Structure 1
Amino acid sequence: MATQVVDPSASTWEAASTHRTPGIDIKPLLQRDGEGRSFEFNVVRFGGEDFWSPRHRHNFDQIRIGLEGETQYGPHRKLPARTIGYYPEGTYYGPLSVSGGPSLQAILQFDGAGRGGYVNYVHLDKATAELKELGEFRKGFWHPHDGGKAVDGYQASWERATGREMIYPEPRFDEAVYMHVDAFSWVPVDGSPVRSKHLGSFGERGLSIGMHLVPAGASLTIGAPGRSTVAFVLTGEVRAGGAGVGQHSALFAEDEDAVEVRGAADDSELVVITLPTFD
């Protein structure tokens, strides 16, 4: 599969799936569909003070990159700009709220080590529409018209889309992990002008999160044999395949693919995520 490069600057905001709560808009970046291989990467805008989502958990992993504003994830957890959160499968987080205006994040959702079967918005939206004929989504839960027990909104739509009962994996972490990227130091890379930060590795399937600082004219190859790699331009601009890739754009290299990027600004920061391998 060819390497993908996506710049959302020309895209318009669209409403996210309504299985959870109003007040979430997205600009799609990357999406891969397929049993055991699905993931979704979007720039996400959370609305004003009316936005709220209950404390919940998922059967997949999430990585959330704070871009603008601040999102509250419960009484003592916040995701401001330049903080990256890892929300593991099976781990509760939230409730979510914002204050002082909208917040902006880049959110990557994908199968974790438990391989729960991530369902992207294309399939989730169809299932959500069908469930609206049979019940009501309210405050993050689906309430069936027949008076049955309320179900988590995502769980209800996932089960409708897959025809299976959702099994939540045993949580490996009590809480989400928040990484304050500016507290990590840049480390030289093999004599190259590019510098790197390793933010964390999680689980036996090789999920890792890191960053690269790419000066103007310096080059970096993204991708590794047998691995799927997502890169996000946090600041600055790089060039890939002869095209400019600006701030808040994304690149994807799958399996045997690799993409060479070259710095096009004084300094460009890339967040690089190596997705779990199931080989």
Structure 2
Amino acid sequence: MDIVHGKELHYEELGLKHRGSGLAFKHLFLGEENTPENYLFSIARQGDFYSPIHRHTFDQFRYAYRGDVSIAPDLLLHEEELCYHPEGVFYGPQLDEWGERDVLVLQFGGASGKGYLSFAQIAEGQEKLKEQGRFEKGKYHPAGGGEPKDSYEALWESYSGHPLEYPAARYHPVIVSKPDNDS
């Protein structure tokens, strides 16, 4: 295992636009592609960011390291708070417009075994789908006026070759840990 101090890593803009621009990452640990156990552990630097209501085929933890992060219109993850996004649970829309923030992100294949697509797999799918439509405000719009769908869902289906069936949610809603609450 290589150990690298986070200050030695540089933020990378990955060219992934399925949720819009304004994201850059320092990858701390990456899992193995094409396995149900694949994962991503990174620090995300967010500028302006928008994502529609959506859900995942994987589990996700977010820790607001610097600044506050929008989870939904009525849910803000404050600095030093942790939230858990179980697979299959809807959340959003997310709208962050007030400056820059850093978020520690862990995404990994959940109990359903559907796995987690790597950023490289998403980028590959994005290039393929851009030839057949466009990404806008977190949705994929097929050319010819087909019904728009969540951008990650379109990418997953393009990569897997079959329609996405979301796992049933095991918890509702997103779970937020608030360490400063005394009650």
* TM-score (normalizing by structure 1): 0.61
CA 160–6 in structure 1, closer or farther in 2 if over 3 Å, else same: farther
Counterpart CA distance in 1 for 2:173 and 2:147 is: 27
Residues 47 and 97 in structure 2, CA contact (< 8 A), matched pair in contact too: no
Q: Does 1:23 align with 2:22?
A: yes
| Partner-residue secondary structure (3-state), 1:14 | coil
Residues 19 and 50 in structure 2, CA contact (< 8 A), matched pair in contact too: no
- Counterpart of 1:62? 60
Q: Give the counterpart of 2:177 among 171, 176, 179.
A: 179
Give a deviation string over 1:142-201, Cα, whole Å, max 9, x none: 1011221112101111111222321101112221000023448xxxxxxxxxxxxxxxxx
Q: Give the counterpart of 2:98 among 97, 100, 110.
A: 100
Counterpart CA distance in 2 for 1:8 and 1:86 is: 23
- Counterpart of 1:274? none
- Counterpart of 1:194? none
Between the two structures, name the one with larger relative contact order (CA 8 Å, sep ≥ 6): 2
CA displacement at 1:4 relative to structure 2:
4.6
Counterpart CA distance in 2 for 1:174 and 1:37 is: 23
Counterpart CA distance in 2 for 1:106 and 1:85 is: 11
Structure 1: which amino acid aligns with 2:50? Answer: W
Instruction: Show structure 1 runs of 5+ residues with no match.
Output: 185-279
Counterpart CA distance in 1 for 2:124 and 2:18 is: 11
CA displacement at 1:44 relative to structure 2:
0.5
Counterpart CA distance in 1 for 2:13 and 2:142 is: 23
CA displacement at 1:101 relative to structure 2:
1.1
Q: Give the counterpart of 1:128 among 126, 129, 148.
A: 126
Q: Give the counterpart of 1:149 among 130, 147, 150.
A: 147
| Partner-residue secondary structure (3-state), 1:5 | coil
Structure 1: which amino acid aligns with 2:17? Answer: T
1:192-207, aligned counterparts within 5 Å?
Answer: none
Instruction: Show structure 2 runs of 5+ residues with no match.
Output: none
Structure with greater strand share of residues: 1
Q: Give the counterpart of 2:158 among 154, 157, 160.
A: 160
CA displacement at 1:60 relative to structure 2:
0.6
Residues 142 and 153 in structure 1, CA contact (< 8 A), matched pair in contact too: yes
Once superposed, which parts of structure 1, at least 4 consecutive aligned residues long, lie more than 6 Å away?
none
Aligned residues: 180
* TM-score (normalizing by structure 2): 0.91
- Counterpart of 2:136? 138
Tell me which structure has the larger Cα radius of gyration. Answer: 1
Counterpart CA distance in 2 for 1:122 and 1:55 is: 24
Counterpart CA distance in 1 for 2:134 and 2:63 is: 31
Counterpart CA distance in 2 for 1:162 and 1:5 is: 33
Residues 6 and 30 in structure 1, CA contact (< 8 A), matched pair in contact too: no
Residues 116 and 167 in structure 1, CA contact (< 8 A), matched pair in contact too: no
